Chain A
Amino acid sequence: MECHSAREAISARIDGEDPGLPGSALGAHLANCADCREWQQRAHELTRRARLGGPFLERDLTAQVLAAAPPVRAGRRRFARGTGMTQRGGLVAVALAQLAITVPLLILGHDHGAGAHAAHELGSFDLALAIAFAIGAIRPALSAGLAWPCGVAAAGLVVTAVVDLIDGQTIGADEAQHLIAVAGVALLCWQAMTIRSGAAGAAAETPRSWAASPPGAEHAARQVAVLWPETPPEPGGGSDAARVADPDVAARDGGKVA
């Protein structure tokens, strides 16, 4: 075993997580590798210090956060729910209508002049559309993906119907059933657009900064932030922040080191 994977397992074991390899293999490696034994020791020490450390916040931010955060978008939600119900209800209706079309084709096997096998194939095609619309009602998030193949199918049905009507190959009443597929596709597209605009709206409404701090102050704070000077001073100890901020002290310390 390489030290690399042994240390990953040691690290996970310190955290009480699955080490990803058998404990016996790790034990065997540790018995033979003094470097990893020392590393384990240091990792324990580091963990103790890291869990104690970290910047702490001593103020209560609740009021500030609530004052600045936009409200829960209840109005939009009501609207979205109403619209969503219309779309999903519509898709259920369309799916049922589409399913009704497949019954004579698939079960009875006749479609006007076409043979039984052609009727079965057409029935399978119509059944697929019905199921796609039903899925759009059950899982609205999938509408955008469903709209593409259903849209191509519906467009094909409409275009061929129009061409055949002009040629006199068929009659309008027979072809009217394709409008069900067109309605289903329209509902899927509408639903996909509603979901997309909801997501875009949520992403757009993100205020940038605290209302309380003027833009200049915020900029300065961000500049300073990069240097991490606001680490809470250690109680009783020399202030790290002051030492870091004071170039003389830093230079002196640096000099002492070198």
Chain B
Amino acid sequence: MDELTSLAQAARLGDGAALESFVRASYDQVWRFCAALAGPAAADDLTQETYARCVPGLQRFRGDSSALTWMLSIARHVCAAELRSRIRTRGSVVAGYEEVPGWLTAPDASGEVAVADLFVRLDPDRRAAFVLTQVLGLPYAEAAVVCDCPVGTIRSRVARAREDLIAMISAGETISSGTCQAGGSLSS
């Protein structure tokens, strides 16, 4: 059993210090997952909400899966609810991004488009699979537990995410070098 899971087991029996250590050891991963799924500005709120659900629910944590995958699957549900509410209030999750051509025109210090800025344009399922396995470094099997799907589905989602990102970067590079006139249609 990993350390985080032992802490969760202790916290569930009412050990306050273990609860604090559990939060301290896990919030960074939860925050980064939320930030990648729903945007860094909303990540504080979403992390907060994830813990608001996990902590009272710790008594139901049986240790069947690792505490991290348990936390991350709750975070995934919290973020999915947030994205759904954005669709309700704004009509579209991505509508707002398309108004800002920044990801095409603002390469980072090294002259490269920041890959993390492109995550948001991925399909949400592919985004989750890609972020879990690449940014958080989870094995496919654990990502499958978080996403509640078979390992083969994670493999195909990660590959599709890579294809999409490579296509986006190619499009951005051709636009930046001025050889393509697609910029206008993409940003309008």
A residues whose Cβ falls under 8 Å from a Cβ of B: 7-8, 10-12, 15, 17-18, 20, 39, 42-43, 46-47, 49-51, 53-57, 60-62, 64-66, 68-74, 76-77, 202, 205-210, 218, 221-222, 224-232, 234-238, 240, 243-244, 250, 253-254, 256-258
Contact = CB atoms under 8 A, between A and B. Distances in A.
A54 B39 contact: no
B49 A206 contact: yes
B181 A258 contact: yes
B10 to A, nearest CB: 11
A50 B141 CA distance: 20
Contacts of A218: 45
A202 B56 contact: yes
Contact of B51 (A7, A47, A65, A238): A65
19 contacts: A11-B155, A55-B43, A57-B32, A61-B23, A61-B27, A62-B24, A65-B27, A73-B56, A210-B44, A222-B42, A222-B86, A225-B42, A231-B116, A236-B109, A238-B109, A240-B108, A240-B114, A253-B101, A258-B184
Interface residues of B, number: 83
A258 B178 CA distance: 7
Contacts of B109: 234-238
A39 B183 contact: no
Contact of B114 (A53, A222, A227): A53
B187 interface: yes
A47 B131 CA distance: 11
B155 A8 contact: yes
Interface string B85-123: 010001001011101111011101110101111011000
Contacts of A51: 134-135, 137
A54 B166 contact: no
Q: Is the interface of B mostly helix, strand, loop or mixed?
A: helix
Contact of A250 (B31, B93, B102, B166): B102
Contacts of B19: 66, 72
Contacts, number: 226
Contact of B155 (A20, A50, A72, A229): A20
Contact of B135 (A50, A77, A208, A230): A50
A43 B123 CA distance: 18
A240 B52 contact: no
B68 interface: no
A231 B40 CA distance: 7
A46 B51 contact: no
A258 B104 CA distance: 12
A70 B52 contact: yes
Contacts of A222: 41-42, 45, 86
B106 to A, nearest CB: 5
Contacts of A10: 159
B36 A228 contact: no
Contacts of B63: none
